[in-house]
Chain A
Amino acid sequence: MERDIGKPLFNLFLMITSAIAFVVASGIPDFEIVGDLSPAFFPQLLSGLIFLLALPCLVKDVNEWRMAAGARSQSAGVSRKRSIAQWLFIILLLIGYIVSFEPLGYIASTALFTFVCVVGLAFVSGVWASLSAIERGKSLIATLVFALLLTLGIFYVFTELFNIPLPT
């Protein structure tokens, strides 16, 4: 079994978040209605249950983590780093897309996002380094065409077929 610290860490994250939610819920104002429960009842009950149920999961996952095999091979380590880089790249790119969407407008931000997404994944995954100059040029042109076609195609579908306005 491969060691993955993420499992116990995620349980810990759930416990901390639910504890914070429980405390925040205690600040919800109460209203007296005959027979009714407080508006804070369900948030507190649910966050409390999540905390209590996450505890045995944490203990179990920590035990599994301690018993699992230790160090990874060098190639597995490189592959994992590449995977994490690809994952983070997509998250950061999405945040960038959200931030730039209204200021730049749909067409510019979407074309840029698509282009950077495809080229960036090739770069982060390491495949870009293995391409010759001619292949890189071809790849850039093909990606540019793809980005423009996708952007305009979706623009047409949403604005013309479904009458959904997009920022321009």
Chain B
Amino acid sequence: MSGYIDGLGMVLQWGTLLAIAGGTLLGIIMGSLPGLTSAMAIALLLPVTFGMPPVAGIGMLLGALCGAGASGSIPAILLNIPGTPSSVATTFDGFPMAQKGEAGRALGLAIVASFFGGVASMVILSLLAPPIAEFALRFGPAEYFSLSIFGLVIIASVAGKSLLKGLIAGLIGFFISTIGTDPITGVGRFTFDELSLLTGVNLLPALIGLFAISQVLKDAFEYDPYERMKESAHRIDNARPLFVETLKHWKALLIGIASGSVVGPIPGAGGSIASLVAYDQTRRFSKTPEKFGKGYAPGVVSVESANNALLGGALIPTLALGIPGEAATAVLLGGLMIQGITPGPLLFADQSGTIYGIFLAYLVANFFMLLIMCLGIKLFIRVLMVPRKQLLAAILVFCFIGVYGVDGDVFNLYLMLGFGVLGYFLNRYDFGTAPVILGLILGPIAESNLRRGLQSFEGDWTPFFTRPISVTFLVIAAGLLALTLWQNYRSKHPRAT
């Protein structure tokens, strides 16, 4: 309880509240723009959070995640274009509602369902994360090594379009993490007499390069000057939060929250799966399944509540174990580390005020999301009309100044560009960028714990394969690899019927 009181004191400060509101606003704007992801929104905000207290900085990033999760519904409902991948299922009933002249009603339901989903997931997060972290306090070097390998394998298996490519991407990140001074002996590795590399590759230019610059390069490649975002023909005069009507669809709301909360902690599953599961289950439990896909309100409610319920679930392994489940939480984890916070069980033990402050900041972000979406819905629809050229230029300048501003090192700008180009090709050729970040973050944990463990076991490897928790992680990782390989094989060699 004292952790919550300390956390509340950190959140209820003007600076923190402003930071959360600002992050939520930027997230809503980014989520409204098809093609721009929530991971990119967080990456862009990272430099801004540097000078802030941890709860304010992380609250800002969580606000961006929360806002982006909710506002993807705007283009999905009005234009049949999902703003984020998780909004794909919102188009199923949201757009038909808009075609029937109910765009405002669909938006009102989507906003309130997102809000309920977010609040419920915060409750689940605050209930489940502490006991998991407490359990993880038993971990020694062997367990941390196995956990890092487990995290890397699990994200590599699901992030890329092929298992091999996902693994390669993870290994690339792991390899890049070895650049700099060796953690045990102090020997320089791949530093090439460059002072900026002595402490290793800076995480900030890597995150901004992989998630923002690579996206801008993709947009530049695909930029079509003659393509104009069509203006929605649907009236949205009556867009306001519909609390009573959303609660009338309580069954859809609960299914959405349950789907998001269950799928969220599964690494790599992501928002699109949670929302599709929620939509499918709501239709299955409905007495009128034939109405789905024709502009039926419960379809919107379940999907949007699942989208935001997902985030709380995804934060459980991120905060309790330091293992993020997908791109956005991987960037968030990077943000935590840049703030000097090492996610994992010790965070709960040593900085309980900060961790509960982060939980409460996420709750507050949901309230800001509700408020800002209600007040500015018509403005955010105008965001869709922003010319792409100007947007690209603005994002590039922001990335550039953000990376330079942190320590005034021009070398980091080249690093950011290098990661941007690498990220562009990794995405283009189906490797994915999330495993690279995981490799960068988990690589040093895996290496230093393996070597520390080997030193304490006097060079004996067997404890890594005999300690129960350690071997469990390794067996699950090996099992997942085998399962993914089997699924790939079956999809290419379907059994003759």
Contact = CB atoms under 8 A, between A and B. Distances in A.
Interface residues of A, number: 65
B119 to A, nearest CB: 30
Interface string A121-163: 1100111000000000000000000110011001000100011
Contact of B189 (A10, A25, A49, A90): A25
A31 B164 contact: no
Contacts of B455: 33-36
Contacts of B288: none
A128 to B, nearest CB: 9
Question: Which of B190, B404, B443, B450 gathers the greatest number of chain A CB atoms within 10 Å?
Answer: B404
A18 B174 CA distance: 13
Interface stretch (B35-43, B129-137, B221-229): B221-229
A165 B408 contact: yes
Nearest to A164: B405
A127 B404 CA distance: 33
The binding surface of chain A is classed by DSSP as helix
A50 B168 contact: yes
A158 B405 contact: yes
B486 interface: no
Interface stretch (B260-268, B301-309, B387-395, B464-472): B387-395
B398 A84 contact: no
Given A42-B178, A122-B389, A53 B185 contact: no
A39 B221 contact: no
Interface string B37-72: 000000000011011000000000000000000000
The binding surface of chain B is classed by DSSP as helix
Contacts of B393: 113-114, 117-118, 147, 150
B198 interface: no
A37 B450 contact: yes
Contacts of A25: 189-190
A97 to B, nearest CB: 7
Contacts of B417: 91, 94-95, 98
Interface stretch (B1-9, B235-243, B332-340, B421-429): B421-429
Nearest to A56: B164
A25 B220 CA distance: 36
A98 B171 contact: no
Interface in A32-51: 33-37, 39-40, 42-43, 46-47, 49-50
Contact of A6 (B168, B408, B413, B428): B428
Nearest to A83: B221
B428 A121 contact: no
Given A101-B404, A121-B389, 12 more contacts: A37-B451, A50-B172, A53-B167, A56-B164, A57-B165, A83-B223, A101-B400, A110-B397, A113-B397, A122-B225, A151-B397, A154-B401
23 contacts: A33-B185, A35-B457, A35-B458, A36-B185, A37-B450, A39-B184, A46-B175, A53-B167, A83-B221, A87-B217, A87-B220, A89-B220, A90-B217, A90-B220, A101-B404, A102-B410, A113-B396, A117-B389, A117-B393, A127-B226, A151-B397, A154-B397, A166-B401
Interface of A: 6-7, 10-11, 14, 18, 21, 24-25, 28-29, 31, 33-37, 39-40, 42-43, 46-47, 49-50, 53-54, 56-57, 83-84, 86-87, 89-91, 94-95, 97-98, 101-102, 106, 110, 113-114, 117-118, 121-122, 125-127, 146-147, 150-151, 154, 158, 162-167
